[in-house]
Structure formats: C-alpha cells, structure tokens
Structure 1
Amino acid sequence: MVKATLNALVERLSLTEQDANLSLTNPNRLKTEVLAGLTVALALVPEAVAFAFVAGVHPLVGLYAAFIVGLITAVFGGRPGMISGATGALAVVMVALVAEHGVEYLFATVVLMGVLQLGAGIFKLGKFIRLVPTPVMLGFVNGLAIVIFLAQLSQFQVPGSDHGGGGHGLAGGDWLTGVPLMVMLGLTALTMLIIWGLPKFTKAIPAPLAGIGITAAIVIGFGLEAPRVGDLASIQGGLPGFHIPTVPLNFETLKIIFPYALVLAAIGLIESLLTLNLVGELTGKRGGASQECVAQGAANVVTGFFGGMGGCAMIGQSMINVQSGARTRLAAIMAALFLLSFILFGAPLIEKIPLAALTGVMFMVVIGTFAWNSLRIMFKIPRSDALVIVLVTVVTVQYDLAVAVVAGVIVSALVYAWRSAKRLHISAHDSHTVPGAKTYELDGPLFFASTDNFSELFDIENDPDVVIVDFKRSRVVDQSALQAIEDLAMKYEASGKELRLRHLSRDCHQLLTKAGQLMIDSDDDPEYQIATDYSVKTGAFGGGH
C-alpha cells in the first residue's frame, strides 16, 4: 500500500525516456533543456540568497556555492536531471559555526566536508541508501515539501525585516499587511494558475518559466509595488576567485571544524541520495549512488576553495527541472551557467523579478512533491509504517533531514526485528538418518531478538542422547545467534548429550568451534551472495560470498 502511494506520486510527475527523444541534436530537446535550465536558475537566485542569510554569510557566498556545486554535480553526478546548490538543511547547521568562528572556518569546514563525501563515494558507502524503507521515503518527501513551503513564507515578510531565524521563514519578521499583502497573494496565485493551466494548451515553453515571465511583465509593465529579488540583496559580483581558507593548520582547528564537517557531509549525502532515488523514479533511471557521493564531495572541496558555502542536491529545484521536461545533464549545466551570467551581467534585470512569481513556482513544487495519497492510506497501512511516515515528516520539519532519516530507519529496523523475532518456529521429530536421535528443524531467522525464544524451544532434560538441529530453513544472522547456539551446545554437553548442527552457513560453522560438536556436510552448506553496487554499465549487481 505504501509502495503504491510512492508509485502514484511518481506516475503523477514522471516523463520517461520513451516520452521524448533525449538526443541533444533534436532542436526540441535542446530547447527544452535550455529553457528548463533557465527556469531553475531564476528560482535558484532567491533561494541561494536566503540560505546565505540563514547561514550568516554574504549573499555571494550562497550564489557561488549554487554555481560551483551545481556545475560540478551536473557534469559528474550520478543522475541526469538533479539540481544541486546551497540548501537550507546545510545552512541551519552552518550558522553556529559562522557566528562563533567566522566565515573562513566555514570555508575550511566545507573543504573537509567534501573530503568526507569523497571518501564515502570511493568506499561505495552510497549503496547503504537502499536500507531506507518506503515509509521513510514518503516521510522524506512530505517533510521536505513542508520545509519548502515554510521557507517561502519569508517572502510574505517586509523585505529586510528578517533574514536569519530558523531557516523556515517563521522567525519574527514583520509580515506584509493590507494592499501589499493582497498584491503578493494575487501575483503568487496568478503564477500558480499559469503553471497549472498552460500545459493544457501548449508545452512549447516550460510552464514555470512562463509563469515567472508573465507575472514579471505585469509587475514591471503596470509599475506594481511588489517585493522583488533586488529587495533581498544585490546579486552583482565577479568570478569566484581561488582562496585558501585563512585558518591555522593545526589540531585545534580540526577539533573545531570536524564535528560540523561530519554533520554537514551526512546531511548533504542523505538529502542528495534520497533526491537521487526520487528523481530516478521520475525518470526511470537506476544506480549512481557512489558516483553521486564522489561528485558531491568534489563539488564541495572546490567550493570551499572558491568562497562558497557548500551544498547538496535540492529536491525543490530538481522537481522544477524534471517537471519542465529536462532529462539530460544539459539542463543542470545551463542552470549553473545562467546563474553565473546573472551574477556577472544580468543582476539589474534579475533583481526586478517579483518574489511572488518565484514563490508561486515553489508553491507548485510543494503541491507536486507532497505525497497526498499517504494521507488517504494512513489508516489502511500497518500502524508502524504510518508512525514512521509521521515521525520522519515531523522530525524533518522540526530538526533536519539527517536526524529524521536516521530516526525513521532505526524505528523501521526495530519494528522489522520485532516482527522477525516472532517468525522463529521449530518442529521436532525422530531423526530419519540417525537411529534414536531427535531432530529439531528451525524455520525463521536466528538473531539477537529471537535468541531467547530459540533457547526456550528445546527440552534438554527429556531429549535423547543425540540431538540434531537443522538450520536448512533458518539463517544465523549475528554474533548473538552464534552465542546462543554455542550456549545450547554447552548445555547439552553438560547433560552428557551430543548436539549436532546441520545446514549452517560456512561463516557460522567456522566460528562455532568451542563446543567441538559440529557435524556439517560441506556439500549441504549454502553460500549466500550479497548484492553490492549496482553497475550502470552492465545493468547488474556485483556480488561476493
């Protein structure tokens, strides 16, 4: 049921490769990619500026991060269609570091963050994102949709009244009232209406770009008083220059920046890999987790040396890109290049764009991102799954994505462990191969949560002199299970009886030597293959024994 909900979300948003010719020699495809990149770049400007304010740094620090991270991940990332840049999830962690130690320590932290992410990619740790269950994914998209919505509320505050609190746009600014509020609401609604209605008539131009253009033309043409991008800050600047962070190269500096770098690296990779999975569902792509880790790491290392605040994948901008029809790397590359051109040449024009138009675009992203079906099925799915969805959603909004996903995975794992522990069953009968012996056949996994039940299933006092435990339909999972088997063998030995174990996997019987009573036919011993990284080239999982 939960999987069906996620699939419904995907079906509502997706355009697969079969729907379009992805060759860039096709003029229509080229136009779609370029216009999608322009749309994303326009939406990136106020986001990068706002997140820079949240982190307590100059707006250009956010804009440079959006350009550099966006460009490098677009070229080398694991999934065409993804957009990366400065994000609020990272900014709220950075603010304490900047306030206490200054921006140079932030640049050093971003470099170290990138190194950690590179390590995660080199050692292929990205594959562990597959451990995130579907309810956590639903909570992730719902939580991120709410965060994106809350972040837009700052646009309904008086420009300059609040740039720093909380990261969600709810911290103490002066709200618009009267006519300015009505104008802001009206322009936002107009943008949303254009985005909703235009595709019904034509898809020649991305609807979000049309919404921004028409709304901006109305505001400029009629001279309406409405907050504009320039009211946030000037985005005029030059090319980012190479800059080694001016911090002492000693252990004290490492003690300061390492905790922040570790948290930022974890948040950045989790958000990037979950976004990679979601975009993969929308575009019909698979794999690339380790490649995305490497790309994110390289991007942040470079960003730290060029005066940027670092970044990661952005689900909102990625949704804009995909919904605008982008399916190749060109759109993300163009978004980064357009953003740089805005900084260098187009600042006076871009600063005239009304914030209401960009807010309308993001509100439509919120509507498209939120898994509305998850509300309908909440009382139909297992209560544990519903709890995980709500938990991840709430924690994402209240704290940050990394904490939310870790909490969701832990709760899901505990629920799974509890359910699996109750699946361990045993059947006893006289042995067919050893006269006078008794055979116990286990069915279900043996691990830390089921070891107590396992020990209670045997009648040591009344069993015959030879007892056989058959693990053919069971799997010994962890050290707790091995210890439980060894303890059982010693109890039978203390009673003067012989315990024989059959159909144990090789990794288990190699460790169970203390009791010295193993009886295993190596031909019966199963080998278990473990899937590692998915290969995009071969289209298959690599494996090992």
Structure 2
Amino acid sequence: MFNLLSKAPSSAKNDILSGLTVALALVPEAVAFAFVANVEPLVGLYAAFIVGLITAIFGGRPGMISGATGALAVVMVSLVLDHGVEYLFATVLLMGILQVLAGIFKLGKFIRMVPHPVMLGFVNGLAIVIFLAQLGQFKVPDDMGGQQWMEGQALYIMLGLVALTMAIIHFLPKLTTAVPSSLAAIVTVTAIVIGFDLEARTVLDFLKGMTGNEQATIAGGLPEFHIPMVPFNLETLKIIFPYALVLAAIGLIESLLTLTLIDEITETRGHSNKECIGQGAANITCGFFGAMGGCAMIGQSMININSGGRSRLSGISAAIILLAFIIFAASLIEMIPLAALVGVMFMVVLGTFEWASFKMMKRVPKSDAFVIVLVSGVTVVTDLAIAVCVGVIVSALVFAWQHAKHIYTSNYIDEQGSKVYELHGPLFFGSVKNFAELFDVKNDPEDVIIEFKHSRVADHSAIEAIDSLAEKYAKVGKKLHLRHLSPDCIQLLHNARDLVEVNVIEDPNYKVASDKLA
C-alpha cells in the first residue's frame, strides 16, 4: 500500500544527505532513551554517535543505522537506579564482549531460524511501538508537573505541521529525487514555523520537558575516555553479568532482525556474524567513553533507506553530523519543530507496517496468522526479544505437533519370516506416543525388524521410545532389530549405549543420504 523506498540511485550525495536526515531524527530519540534509562542526555547522544559510527564502519549491513534504543533502555533503568551509572558503563562493556564472542563463534547464523510469520509480527509490532512513542509528543507539561494532552490551537498547529511534513515526504519524490524528501520536509516545516512565528514545540522544549531543567541543552564536547569506576571483582561481575547477557541478546536479536528486513527491502545480503562483532566493538567503546550503548534502530534505518542511503557512508555521515550538532550546532538543532520529526516517523510507520499481512491472514494457515498477531502484541506489551522468543517457540511447537501426526508404518513378512515395520516420518519427542501405538507386540512373530530407511531417530525421547519397545518384545521372548539407520542415528544410539540396549542390523551396502547431500 505504501511504497516509500527511495528510487534514487546509490551515490555519495544521497548517502550524505540521507545521513543528515537521520542525524536530525536521532537527536530527540537519543535524548528520550537516555531519559528512559535515567541517565544524562549526553550519555544517550554519545551512544548514538559511537554505536552509529563503529557499526557503520565495521558492521555487516551497509545502510543500517544503530544507536541508543528503547529496547535496551528499559532494561538499563533498574540497574542505574539500583547501582548507579558507573555500573551501567561496566555492563555495556561486558555486553559488547559477549556480542563479539557471539560473532566469533558464528551464532549470528541462528537468525535464519526465525520463521517468516515471526518476522512479520516483529515488523508490525515495531511499527506500532514507533507510532505509540510519537504520541508522547502531543503532550505538554501541566501545572502539577505532569503531562497533559495538547488542546486548542497548539493541537491544531501540531497536527497541521505533521500533515504538511507527511505530504512533502509523500509527494516530493514524484517531482524530484535530488534531495531526500524527509530532509526537505524538516527544513521546510522549520522555516515555516520560524517565518510565521508559530507556537510550536521544538527539540529544545522537548529537552526541557524531559529533564525539568530550563537550562537544558544538547551542546557538549567530544566523548572522553573513562574507565568505569566500579570494583573489578567477582561481586561486580555477579551484578552486571545478568544485565549484560540480557542486553547482549536483545541488542543482537533487534540488530539481526533489522538486518534481515533491510536485506529483503534492498534485495541485498548483509553478514550477520560480522554485525555481531561490529555491534560488540561499538558497545565496548561505549563502556570506555561514558555512553549507554545501543543496537540497530529500525526507525532510523528505514528513514535512511527511504532517503536513498545505501552504503556505509550514510551511517558514517549520520554519526559524524550528529557529533557536529552536539559540538557546533546545538542551537540550530534545538529550533527544529517536533512536529516535523513526528511526521517523518509517522511515514516510517506507514512504510514499515506490512499492510499486506491483513490479506495474508485469510490465505496462510491459522497457526501462522496467530503467530503474526501474537508476536505483534507481545512486541508492543513487552519487548522485542521476548516477542521473538515467544514466536519462535510457538512456531516450533506447532511444527512439532503437525509432524508428530505424520509417523506411520508399512508392514510385511520377509523371506526369513520376520515381520518388518517400515517406518515413515521422523521419530522425536512429539511422535513417540504415536510410534508406540504402531506395533502389535502380542501377535507379532518372534523376530521383528524396524526399517528406518524412510525415518530418522532425532532425540533422546526417540531413543527411550525404542528402548521401551525393545523391552516389551523381550518380555514376551521376542527380538527387535533396527535396520538401515542413517550414520548420525547410529552415532546417537552409540552415544546412549549405557542408557539403551537395542540390536542394530548393519547393512554396509545401503547408502544413506547425508546432510551434505540433503
């Protein structure tokens, strides 16, 4: 329904202009996530710069934008409240080490195990989260120190400017692609607000409201080297390791799913293990420079892709321009109306949400439709990592349930008078109950053979089922043999030889297809 992908060819100009657009959108996001984590705004802004720069240079996905994110901030806040910001820096350092190890041991490949319905749920859920996050910009401080919804003229001006921003982003590419439409919209709306002296909330107003400080500013200097001031002992490790493990997992899941999404949009392929190492290196650096760490940002990544950013230069430009804003141009950035940035993010929502999934619901299996809705809902209610884990688990259970019903046998008596059960379908924890019901122990002849050329022993539950069946035949004085097991199944039974006693009929003339040939 909404095809917002830029048609402009990849070029240095497009990458730099796209980076400028992303940098403008990063400022309020980084400040907001710093506030969520209960740290100073510059801690979030420095994270956006450091993570954005290092992952753009060394990461596995050109064009993907990384920085401080809400998914990590909500985990960090309890650590900061309980132990202080120095423990956060030490945790981010350990988080980065864990992510580098994940890349070294090539764990990034496991992102391929995420089913497509989970991906759709992830995309739709994040689109909803981005949308809900923007609604906070429609609130203003009240007299009691809280927040209230805008009313009257302030609300109408805000809605009008948001609509104008969205209209420029939608229609400008039909006229020209020389300038990213998001950047043009931000500049145009800012000029209108300043030129007509409209009462519109700006980035500076947002910063003051978040910090409660009338002197608040995003101005600062270069990040300074800083070793986390915590005791380097086992007690500290006990405190920070659980947080670091959760943060590393959330960061990698969000980053690798975003990488997969951009791969599909741009019809190119990133490198998941390289991205793990890049994210880890960025977070290690954050730990030594007083920043809150981060991971891939789907909203800003979509802004970059939609604005024509394709190469590493776009991410590098965004990070460097953001740092330039902090050092040299804070006053200019603080003048940007929030309505312009909200309009940009609303267009990201429209472009990110998989609208075709509504039609798809009637055409895919009910279990897949359920997973899409489930992952979307869990993403909104909790966080991305939990949502993806829940989606993968539910998908795996559905798969196991369906395949558990596909096991059956073809029976016959061979030349030696043995009864052969030719097994079809995988033997695993889900199918063992049905497997046990396939055999007629009481009426079978004294010699029974299970033919495995169309089946496979998959796990320990399968071994126990075979052992239990062998015992039943032994109790009535009959012998059970296994024939045509694949080499990996034979190895599995060999490893469990102390737990199970079965007779395997060797057949050196029978060739079993290996995983390499499958």
> Fold conserved (TM > 0.5)?
yes
Residue 212 of structure 1 is matched in structure 2 by 186
Distance change (3 Å), C-alpha of 1:162 and 1:285:
farther
The CA deviation at 1:268 is 0.6
Q: Is 1:482–1:508's contact at 8 Å kept on the other side of the alignment?
A: no
Residue 136 of structure 2 is matched in structure 1 by 154
The CA deviation at 1:160 is 9.1
Aligned with residue 102 of structure 1, among 80, 84, 100: 84
Structure 1 counterpart SS, 2:410: strand
Residue 98 of structure 2 is matched in structure 1 by 116
Aligned AA (1:128): F
Residue correspondence of structure 1 range 190-339 to structure 2 within 5 A: 190-233=164-207, 234-339=217-322
Comparing 405-414 with 518-527, greater Cα deviation is found at: 518-527
TM-score computed with the length of structure 2 as normaliser: 0.94
Aligned with residue 59 of structure 1, among 25, 38, 41: 41
Work out whether 1:437 is the aligned partner of 2:418: yes
Structure 2 counterpart SS, 1:518: strand
CA deviation vs aligned residue, 1:509-529 (integer Å, no higher than 9, x gap): 232555352102134252532
Q: Is 1:97–1:105's contact at 8 Å kept on the other side of the alignment?
A: yes
Measured in 2, the distance between the counterparts of 1:80 and 1:482 equals: 47
Distance change (3 Å), C-alpha of 1:203 and 1:272:
same
Comparing 369-378 with 63-72, greater Cα deviation is found at: 369-378
Residue 477 of structure 2 is matched in structure 1 by 496
Residue 212 of structure 2 is matched in structure 1 by none
CA deviation vs aligned residue, 1:351-400 (integer Å, no higher than 9, x gap): 11111000000000001101111122323322211111111111111111
Residue correspondence of structure 1 range 358-397 to structure 2 within 5 A: 358-397=341-380
Residue 512 of structure 2 is matched in structure 1 by 526
The CA deviation at 1:439 is 1.4
CA deviation vs aligned residue, 1:11-30 (integer Å, no higher than 9, x gap): x4556xxx7765xxxxxx11
The CA deviation at 1:282 is 1.0
Mind listing any 5+ residue stretches in structure 2 that lack a counterpart?
Answer: 208-216
Measured in 2, the distance between the counterparts of 1:218 and 1:151 equals: 25
Distance change (3 Å), C-alpha of 1:182 and 1:101:
same
Aligned AA (1:272): S
The CA deviation at 1:93 is 1.0
The CA deviation at 1:34 is 0.7
Distance change (3 Å), C-alpha of 1:308 and 1:328:
same
The CA deviation at 1:53 is 0.8
Structure 2 counterpart SS, 1:459: coil
Measured in 2, the distance between the counterparts of 1:161 and 1:53 equals: 21
Structure 2 counterpart SS, 1:174: strand
Measured in 1, the distance between the counterparts of 2:61 and 2:272 equals: 9
Measured in 1, the distance between the counterparts of 2:474 and 2:183 equals: 77
Comparing 151-160 with 232-241, greater Cα deviation is found at: 151-160
Measured in 1, the distance between the counterparts of 2:144 and 2:166 equals: 25
Structure 1 counterpart SS, 2:482: strand
Measured in 2, the distance between the counterparts of 1:395 and 1:222 equals: 44
The CA deviation at 1:95 is 1.1
Measured in 2, the distance between the counterparts of 1:209 and 1:328 equals: 18
Q: Is 1:430–1:436's contact at 8 Å kept on the other side of the alignment?
A: yes
Q: Is 2:23–2:321's contact at 8 Å kept on the other side of the alignment?
A: yes
Aligned with residue 163 of structure 2, among 177, 189, 192: 189
Residue correspondence of structure 1 range 67-106 to structure 2 within 5 A: 67-106=49-88
Distance change (3 Å), C-alpha of 1:461 and 1:162:
farther
Aligned with residue 465 of structure 1, among 434, 438, 446: 446
Aligned AA (2:260): N
Residue 455 of structure 1 is matched in structure 2 by 436
Work out whether 1:48 is the aligned partner of 2:30: yes
Measured in 1, the distance between the counterparts of 2:260 and 2:25 equals: 22
The CA deviation at 1:161 is 8.8
The CA deviation at 1:486 is 2.2
Distance change (3 Å), C-alpha of 1:468 and 1:247:
same
Q: Is 1:79–1:285's contact at 8 Å kept on the other side of the alignment?
A: no
The CA deviation at 1:251 is 1.8
Residue 537 of structure 1 is matched in structure 2 by none
Work out whether 1:141 is the aligned partner of 2:123: yes
Work out whether 1:399 is the aligned partner of 2:343: no
The CA deviation at 1:79 is 0.9
Aligned AA (2:417): G
Q: Percent identity?
A: 65
Measured in 2, the distance between the counterparts of 1:524 and 1:346 equals: 74
Aligned length: 504
Residue 391 of structure 2 is matched in structure 1 by 408
RMSD of aligned Cα (Å): 2.0
Residue 474 of structure 1 is matched in structure 2 by 455
The CA deviation at 1:287 is 4.6
Structure 2 counterpart SS, 1:435: coil
Measured in 1, the distance between the counterparts of 2:158 and 2:511 equals: 70
Measured in 1, the distance between the counterparts of 2:331 and 2:113 equals: 47
Q: Is 1:160–1:232's contact at 8 Å kept on the other side of the alignment?
A: no
Aligned AA (1:393): S
Aligned AA (1:521): D
Measured in 2, the distance between the counterparts of 1:445 and 1:307 equals: 53
Show structure 1 runs of 4+ deviating over 6 A. Answer: 160-163
Aligned AA (2:362): F
Q: Is 2:89–2:287's contact at 8 Å kept on the other side of the alignment?
A: yes
The CA deviation at 1:259 is 1.4
Residue correspondence of structure 1 range 348-363 to structure 2 within 5 A: 348-363=331-346
Distance change (3 Å), C-alpha of 1:232 and 1:518:
same
Q: Is 1:504–1:525's contact at 8 Å kept on the other side of the alignment?
A: no
Residue 507 of structure 1 is matched in structure 2 by 488
Structure 2 counterpart SS, 1:193: helix
Aligned AA (1:496): G
Structure 2 counterpart SS, 1:379: coil
Mind listing any 5+ residue stretches in structure 1 that lack a counterpart?
Answer: 1-7, 23-28, 164-171, 531-542
Measured in 2, the distance between the counterparts of 1:374 and 1:98 equals: 39
CA deviation vs aligned residue, 1:3-50 (integer Å, no higher than 9, x gap): xxxxx98xx4556xxx7765xxxxxx1111111111111111111011
Measured in 2, the distance between the counterparts of 1:155 and 1:525 equals: 66
CA deviation vs aligned residue, 1:425-462 (integer Å, no higher than 9, x gap): 1111122xx42122111111110010111111011121
Measured in 1, the distance between the counterparts of 2:82 and 2:67 equals: 24
Measured in 1, the distance between the counterparts of 2:192 and 2:41 equals: 27
Structure 2 counterpart SS, 1:411: helix
Aligned AA (2:402): R
Aligned AA (1:388): V
